[in-house]
Amino acid sequence: MQKSNQSKWKSSLRVILASMGASGLLTALQWFFIQPYIGIAPDLSIGMMGIIYFLLFTLLFSRLFQQQTKLEEIEREKEVQKLLDETTRLYKSKVFRELASTHIRMCRRNNWTVGLILMDIDRLSKINEKYGYDAGNEVLKHFASVLKETIRDSDIVARLDDDCFALLLPDCNEKDAKRVTQRIQLKILEAPPKVEKDPIKIPFSSGIVSFAGKVARYNLMVDRATEALKQAKRKGGNRIVLY
């Protein structure tokens, strides 16, 4: 049985048990009110029981509704965690592959150009060594936030590895992809993250490839973008190379 089904079953069981308990309590109260030595008139007794019924079951089902809503939020968060990288909140590599492949097939059907940018932060290990891994994570988060601010709704961005990111751009040629990369460079240059009040530069290398829709294939695009990225690294980093 899946965890979500188990949670629903347990929630339903709690509703049944709570209802049975409330019914038992109300039955005992009703018996108490009708005792002669209590001295409560029958009409007043019925009215009091009605009010108690209403208040008790309103409180009960309000509480159960809140618990169910919380369980559903937890389940949704668990599903999101499966898709997103914990540090950057970008798509994971496996998810990117599936989404990018789907978008590339769409570009083939519509004969759109499609661009792919692979980006690798230069010397992230040195930032970790100098400031610590928490600072390195802040750099990754900042880089990811700039990517998300720059892309269109139709674009897909992901963290593929420790310091490697990917950006798929449907209906985008290599010149447009290069302009997107340059905008990312400019935003990071204008507002670098700060660690211990020191601004940290985030140089990064980029490999760009663009395909006409009819010939675009995920593996081929990744291979060529990777080769362009390697060339950027070999030339000293902090540069853009088009395949």
* pLDDT tens digit sequence for 83-115: 899 899 999 999 999 999 999 998 888 889 999
Reported pTM: 0.70
User: At residue 72, does pLDDT exceed 60?
Assistant: no
Is 11 within a domain?
yes
Please indicate, yes or no, whether residues 220 and 152 belong to a single structural domain of this protein. yes
Please indicate, yes or no, whether residues 57 and 126 belong to a single structural domain of this protein. no
Which of 63, 83, 103 is the last residue in one of the domains?
A: 83
Q: Residue 1: what pLDDT?
A: 42
Contact 173, 115 (CB under 8 A): yes
Please indicate, yes or no, whether residues 10 and 105 belong to a single structural domain of this protein. no
Is 88 within a domain?
no
Q: 156 or 47: whose pLDDT is higher?
A: 156
Whose CA is closest to 118, among 233, 215, 235?
233
Q: Give the percent of the chain with pLDDT over 70.
A: 68
Range of the domain at 120: 93-242
Please indicate, yes or no, whether residues 120 and 158 belong to a single structural domain of this protein. yes
Please indicate, yes or no, whether residues 13 and 66 belong to a single structural domain of this protein. yes
Please indicate, yes or no, whether residues 148 and 72 belong to a single structural domain of this protein. no
